[in-house]
Structure 1
């Protein structure tokens, strides 16, 4: 009787051990497949974080879809109000996190416009420069786009913008920052980066009836690799470290380190920067 009980105990123990080992092997295989899948997704569409009134992670596809969805409204507003469509779209991308930011989702506010004393519509509170600031709320996104145009045309501090050429998006980007639209010192660089990476200038050209030359063909070039196989970029007028970093998907800090630049360094036209 004792021997039978002992044999039964050993058999049950072996079965139990086999049962506990199987899920571990399956989990490892499943984990490996998931990791590989995530790597493949990253190569297809690069992630980036848009920081404005909220911190939003988006992909290139999300930004492209945003542009496709609102380009017609932007061009219509350019015709009616004289604001470059490229600037409208770039601000929309930045301020709304390409439509995925908190204010865009909860209030259809795609331009981060705060209440101000003259606003009589619906409002929503949201943390920004200060805690729980008052922002405008709209019933639909098109209302936000129209209010953005009325905001710029109706405020005296933006009057100088409308003296600029309609296709000079660089001057408009800098002018918005100088007029106080945003407190972020990199605001112009961010707008310019979106305009150039997503070729938003083509919508200005459509409204103005001009031929559009893609940014990569506008005298922007990579200098041939040197004997050590290093790649260099030749700085063009209006370039910044931020815009170059976004164009070639490198970090600003890496550009500084590779080219021995400090925070106070100034780029000059014709300067050759090591990219990789």
Structure 2
């Protein structure tokens, strides 16, 4: 009996313990994957080594071109035609014809500054059509009595007759004869030989040009390139440099390549070795092009 009681109590204890144990699940609830939020943030492009080098090279080239442009200033010359020339071209023209102008001043009494200034303006520093076709550097028309060669060119009227010369120097001589042989230009020779302003105004009054701004253009060229310096050299007077903002130094360090030029001829002209010339201008081969500006100093 006692044994039965003990067994009964033991059974009751077992049942009580089993009802108090936690329930353990053997299967997991389905996993819900969180939704990802995508934000499109634009990225700044990272320059490659090539791009960086190109940008740096472009900047250097731009700076170099800017410096070159400052040394190769251009202007528009307009008389019988409209042409664009560089400072180097005008300085080269002055170098070629200054001695002719000084000689004509001594012989005919016309200021060198006026001669050179008109030559630059009328011929476009030797690049205009009339100077190229007819060596006519002063836009002198045929007029009555001219029996020499001529060319037709549109000016104030269509196909006007202009004088043609064998050489540019003949044009310079005819310019002097043209002014000294006509009565309406005679008042000019009563002016002071170094008074280029009154000479410029007098030429317009005498009918040399129809352009109302002719004196202004001529005076501007004379002062810009200090052409009155040659008047002083002929007269033996002291030259006082003009103080103008547009003044160009005659000691330019640039030379513009002309037809027939070679590195050898340019080196001889400016007393510089070919190697130095190539080095100053970063020239690898013995090749130069027409119109190219070369550093010669």
TM-score by length of 1: 0.66
Aligned to 1:50, the other structure's residue is in SS state strand
Hey, what does 1:145 align to over in structure 2?
172
In structure 1, distance between residues paired with 2:132 and 2:57: 35
Change in 2 beyond 3 A, CA 1:40/1:143: same
Contact 1:46 1:60 in 2 (8 A): yes
Hey, what does 1:198 align to over in structure 2?
225
Hey, what does 1:128 align to over in structure 2?
155
In structure 1, distance between residues paired with 2:209 and 2:58: 44
Query: Which of 70, 77, 88 is 1:50 aligned to?
Result: 77
Change in 2 beyond 3 A, CA 1:28/1:125: farther
Hey, what does 2:216 align to over in structure 1?
189
Aligned to 2:203, the other structure's residue is in SS state helix
Residue 96 in structure 1 maps to residue 123 in structure 2: yes
Q: How many residues align?
A: 198
Q: List alignment gaps of at least 5 residues for structure 1.
A: 1-26, 221-243, 249-276
Give CA deviations for 1:231-275 in whole Å, capped at 9, x if unaligned: xxxxxxxxxxxxx7x569xxxxxxxxxxxxxxxxxxxxxxxxxxx
Hey, what does 2:139 align to over in structure 1?
112
Runs of 4 or more, structure 1, over 6 Å off, are: 27-36
In structure 2, distance between residues paired with 1:157 and 1:41: 46
Higher normalized helix content (fraction of residues): 1
Change in 2 beyond 3 A, CA 1:30/1:52: farther
Structure with higher Rg: it is 2
Alignment RMSD (CA, Å)? 2.5
In structure 2, distance between residues paired with 1:32 and 1:102: 39
Give CA deviations for 1:193-227 in whole Å, capped at 9, x if unaligned: 111111111111111111101012xxx6xxxxxxx
Deviation at 1:61, TM superposition (A): 1.0
Aligned to 1:215, the other structure's residue is in SS state coil
Contact 1:49 1:57 in 2 (8 A): yes
Deviation at 1:39, TM superposition (A): 3.6
Give CA deviations for 1:56-109 in whole Å, capped at 9, x if unaligned: 111111111111110000000001000000000000000000011111111100
Deviation at 1:35, TM superposition (A): 6.3
Contact 2:226 2:247 in 1 (8 A): no
Deviation at 1:32, TM superposition (A): 8.4
Q: List alignment gaps of at least 5 residues for structure 2.
A: 1-53, 249-297
In structure 1, distance between residues paired with 2:160 and 2:55: 48
